[in-house]
Amino acid sequence: MSYVGRGVTDGEVGGGGDLEAGAFGTWVTQMRESIDGDHGADVPCGTCTACCTSSQFIHITPDETETLAHIPKALLFPAPRLPEGHVLMPYNERGHCPMLIDFECSIYAHRPMTCRTYDCRIFPAAGLKIDEPDKRLIAAQAQRWRFQYPSTGDETLHHAVTAAGSFLRDHVEMLEEIGLPTNTTQLAVLAVEFHDLFIDQHDDGTATTVRLPDVQGVRVELTRRVDARRRR
Ligand code: SF4
């Protein structure tokens, strides 16, 4: 999230033309690494601050001590259903993050990992649209991204992520049973994270075709991976 600089206002977001999102295969690899916590997302946000002004609760983990040291304690509250020490930073009456001052992140060098890994390209990647009224700035920005497909593998990967997005959107009860969140943002993140379940691969790991797995198979594999992630 957030660019250091003048922010984009309601009138500007979505008003511009297409934005280059990069080669799909490269992007999806980097996004999965970002989800795994290997590094932050490298998003060419330009002057956009849509994600900092869209009524989002920012999750901060206990080990983000540098970040926590730069946010007034009064702005934080315990995150529901998460272990002690996990906190949320709410938005103000305008739907803005309280650390956004004059449309600049006032703690940019110390911003939360949630902000470092946020990438609104996940929505066009997963073929999912945000329809919450208070997220319209993100929705407008997300629809401007255009991926490139330098090889057929890039196209297959995008079809797989889109197939995963549609499948997850149509099976939210299954996700709720597993204990996964089901808002549009989380569905898009899960589609990127688990899109490999929707592709057949060559022995060398390159994608070949998109397949539609059976619901029970996805349930078992998602449960296994989520359990493994929770134990980490
Ligand atoms: S801390 Fe607030 S202002 Fe800074 S990047 Fe995150 S959401 Fe934006």
pLDDT per residue as tens digits for the range 21-42: 999 999 999 999 988 877 777 7
Ligand 1: residues whose CB is within 6 Å?
1-2, 52, 58, 97, 99-100, 105, 107, 111-112, 115
Would you state the pLDDT for residue 231?
64
Q: How far is the CA of 114 from the centre of ligand 1 (A)?
A: 9
Mean pLDDT of the chain: 87
Atom of ligand 1 minimally distant from the CA of 98: 2
Q: What's the CA-to-centroid distance between 111 and ligand 1, angstroms?
A: 6
pLDDT confidence of residue 9? 44
CA distance 67 to 96: 18
Ligand 1 atom 7: residue of nearest CA? 52
For the entire predicted model, the pTM comes to 0.83
Taking the centre of ligand 1 as the mean of its atom positions, its distance from the CA of residue 165, in whole angstroms, is 27
159: pLDDT strictly greater than 90: yes
